[in-house]
């Protein structure tokens, strides 16, 4: 999913850059009056500005989605780690209790042997 978002963003940005380059080349090689060329430059500049704003908005949205996904995954991992730590703590306490019980049994057995 992240790879697809990266490809969409990259494609959009390349399209905008290609549009700018194409518009510039068209204006340079088109035989027309200076006034008309300036008007075309203004018109194309506005269009490129809009396309750039759209691309930035899309890129920002993609970044937000990716950040949300990372936060969700990190939260999930922390919760999972917390649960694992609680389970390990319970296992350790159980092992300590069993060890203490065996120690008491051996202590009583040793006391019987010495008496």
* 47 or 3, higher pLDDT: 47
Domain that holds residue 80: 2-114
pTM of the prediction? Answer: 0.45
**Which residues lie below 8 Å from residue 11, measured CB to CB, with a gap of 6+?**
none
The least confident of 30-34, 39-43, 58-62, 104-108 is: 30-34
Both tokens of 77, joined, read 């991992």
- pLDDT of 75 reads 83
Total number of domains constituting the chain: 1
Q: What is the pLDDT of residues 56-76, one digit of tens each?
A: 888 788 878 888 888 888 888
Residue 1 has pLDDT above 60, yes or no: no
Between helix 2-29 and helix 34-114 the angle, nearest 10°, is 160
């Amino acid at each position: 999913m992240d790879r697809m978002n990266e490809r969409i963003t990259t494609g959009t940005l390349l399209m905008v850059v290609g549009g700018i380059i194409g518009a510039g080349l068209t204006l340079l090689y088109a035989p027309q009056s200076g006034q008309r060329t300036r008007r075309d430059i203004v018109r194309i500049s506005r269009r490129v500005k809009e396309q750039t704003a759209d691309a930035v908005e899309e890129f920002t949205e993609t970044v937000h989605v990716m950040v949300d996904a990372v936060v969700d995954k990190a939260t999930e991992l922390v919760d999972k780690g917390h649960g694992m730590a609680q389970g390990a703590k319970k296992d350790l306490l159980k092992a300590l209790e069993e060890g203490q019980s065996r120690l008491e049994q051996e202590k009583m057995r040793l006391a019987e042997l010495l008496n």
